[in-house]
Amino acid sequence: MEKINYDFKNRTALVTGGAQGFGLDIAKRFLNSGAKVIIWDIDSKMIKEAIKKLDNANLSSNIIDVSNYKEVESCINDITKKSNIDILINNAGITGPTSPLWEYDVDMWKKVVDINLMGTFNCCKTVVPNMIKNNYGRIVNVASVAGKDGNANASAYSVGKAGAIGLTKSLGKELADKNIAVNAVTPAGAKTRILDQMTKEHVQRMLSKVPRGRFLEVEEFTSLICWLSSEENTFSTAAVFDISGGRSTY
C-alpha cells in the first residue's frame, strides 16, 4: 500500500527514542514529508547509525536521558533559541523486566516509571511554552494497551503508560483553547527491539490477546502518528487512539 506523505514543510519535529523502532520510522516519514527533525536517544551508537541510515540534511540529534529534567530543559532551551518545536512525539520508553509486583526490584520499577511517565512529563513541560507562544503544536504521547488493560508481570510499564494516558487527557484539556492538540496512542505489541527485552512467554501471551493474530507493523503505527501530528487534525485532542488489532475496544 502506498504511503501518504503529509505536508510538514516549515515544521520542526522532536522525536524522543528516535534512533530505533517506532521513533526511527516516524523520523523517516517526517523527513520525507518535508519536516526538520530532531531525534533524541540515550544510545549514542544507535543515534550514529540512525543518522547514517536516514542521511538527511534536515536531521539533527541529541543524546538525552528524558527522565533527567535538567538535561531536557537545557536542551529544549538551546533548541528554541534557534527554532520553534511544532511537533513533539514522546516515544522514548522501556518495558523493564517481567516479574510479579511483590518481587519487582524497587530501583528498576522506579526507572521504568521515570522514563515512561516522567520522561513524557519533562518533555511536555519544557516544550509546551514554545507551542503556546506560537499558538501551534501537535503532541503525541506513545502509551500502550498495557496502560489501559494492565499487563500481568509488567506493573511498572503498565503504570508508566497509564500515567502517560492521564497526562495526555489533562494537558489536552488545558490547551484546548489553543491550536495545540495533545493525544495518546496505545499500540499492542509490535515488531521492534522492545520485544527483545521480554521473555518469549510474555511475548506469546501478548500475541494471544490480539484478535488480528499478528503484531503491529511499524509503518502502520507511523501512519497514525503522522495524521495526529498534521494540520489535518484540527479537532481531536485529549484523546486516546487505539492501534491494538482489536485487543482493546474502548
Q: Which residues are catalytic?
A: 157
Q: What would the DSSP string read from start to end of the chain?
A: -PPPPP--TT-EEEEETTTSHHHHHHHHHHHHTT-EEEEEES-HHHHHHHHHHH--TTEEEEE--TT-HHHHHHHHHHHHTT----EEEE----------GGGS-HHHHHHHHIIIIIHHHHHHHHHHHHHHHHT-EEEEEE--THHHH--TT-HHHHHHHHHHHHHHHHHHHHTTTTTEEEEEEEE--BSSGGGGGS-HHHHHHHHHT-TT-SPBPHHHHHHHHHHHHSTT--S--SEEEEESTTS---
